[in-house]
Structure 1
Amino acid sequence: MSKSVVGPAASGAGAGAEVLRRKGKSFYWAGQLLTGAQLDRAADLYQLCRNIDDLADEASTPAETLSADRQLRELHEALVSKRSLTDEKTALYEQAESLLGTDPMALNALADLVDTVRQDLGPVRLADRAELLRYGYGVAGTVGVMMTCLLKARERKEALPHAIDLGIAMQLTNISRDVLEDAHLNRMYLPANGVAGHLAPEDIIAGDQVARHRAWLGVRELLGIAEIYYRSGWQGLGYLPSRSRMAIAVAAKVYREIGQQILRRGEERYWQSRCVVGPAQKLKASAGAFVQLAAGAISRHPVRHDPALHQSLSIRFDLRPQEQR
């Protein structure tokens, strides 16, 4: 999370904060609205998730892929059992334990993330929207769960479904931005039963006009789905303490702006360069978030989550409100 409006200093001087500043510029921007301690925890979570993700992204040979799969599998099993499987705790397990403690909800969410990242070790093809949303929950909705725990949201179980939805929305934005980059990694996240249809990454890389046009239609479709999840994520911000609420509101608006910019640039310019939200656009999106907050656009009263948004998800913990169980 991040912002360039003057805010509390980024006291997170550790490795996590530096990784966030370099690789998660939008989040670091919004993170300046957090307290120093909150920013440190958010940055440490970002670094932990980045380290897990890098195991899959940096495995370029069969031996490295097997090693990464073993490490991820062992970490997943350790998180599920709440104990290290070896006498020597791995660095990743120590990171998780130090940051999340023994919070079962946060640890289960991290276990789901690790299990989902393992899918990226091989070619990725998603059949339908349900599979896409499960992936979005696994790699990003889970981060929403862990952030909700770290930021100490009130009525946590009511807040968590909305936090998951904000994570899914951001992941759909990521996928929409990175179709060409993912194609080079032999990954195709646009669902085959959507408007894009079955696409071959090599056709996208080669610049095949038909394939790229269909991919563009798929990008537009995903950004439309993302809007539904951004709205739900926004509805849950009222569960956060005021300072955290401002930071997450700015992060949501800045990240959503990536998708809006993609749509404004249009199909031809989409393929020319990766979409980046610059400082002026971040300021404008942040100002929009502040205006909405000031106007009372976030309800501080409980907002009933739409269960249809999670129909296809397999979430390890029960998020239903008490009266629905």
Structure 2
Amino acid sequence: MKRTNLSLLVCSLLAASSVNAVTLYQGENGDKVDLVGSFEVGGYFGKDYNDNGERWEYDSYYTDDTFMSYGIRVQTGHVYSHLDLDFERQTWTKENEFQMVLDKAYVGWQFDNGDKLEFGRTDTAYDHYDQMGDFSVDGAGEVREAGDQDATLKYRGSFNSFKYGISYSTQGWDHYKTDSRVGEVVNGYFGYFGDNVDVLVAAETVDERGDIYSLHARGFIGPVRLGGFVSQYDAEEREADDTSDALLYVASAGYDFNDKLALNVVYTKVDVDTETREMGDDGFRLWIDDSWVSTGLVYNYRSNIKMKVEFVTGGEQGSYGYSKVYYWF
């Protein structure tokens, strides 16, 4: 299921929402309870296949990809907790029906230096930076690491210009109801974040399934932005007994016309050694040698409202558009 770009965006929006969050309670000692949320209204135009490469059950020029999230954050001294409910379209199924899932339910401890230790249902460490270097809205290829996991212990910290994180999840996949995957998951990242250049490496291993590695970078020169990543995917597929050995390349370029309007162009290439899906009447192979380009415009109406339009061309899915309005508090 294609949730990586989406989850990365939602995480960034909720992180930014600390300024816009609705405070339900604030004590004299600094304890507080915040209500946070996000709305994403829009979807695909002219896309014939879902995220697993299968044709939709219905013929429709427009495919809805609306998403909503509501959460409660509680801070008491060094201790904090977060409960999050997501309402989402199932764009990885043929029916694309709405579902509600428990996205997050965890408690954490924030150290005096800003480092964080969390336990519960939460994003794995890798998930925080899995699309670093990708400037697209939804059209680029994605690193296929684990997303939200049950029973996850995670530590994230920093020193000087470096950031790092590691997580261990004891439980896995629940049949595509969430981002969870099969088996025990261990992943992490380590990166340098400078004034104009960021570089990060990340890796994941899933018990009895395989490994994923990636190298990410992005840089800023005035209004010009450059970025990209390379990911090696060597993990056993659910639908096949063999291994899908794939290299994913994503290269991004962006230009900021001003503080409100930006143009992004992203190139994706997939290089596969073992192709695990055969071409059929209901779709195409998910992992095949392929390449495509996405071009998009981003308009920042306000600090908590964005409008994004993207056009994707090339590759097995042909040409299609994607458009959304994002609002969060």
> Structure with the greater relative contact order (CA < 8 A, sep ≥ 6): 1 or 2?
1
Answer whether TM exceeds 0.5 for this pair: no
Q: TM-score, normalised by structure 2?
A: 0.31
Between Structure 1 and Structure 2, which shows a larger proportion of strand residues? 2
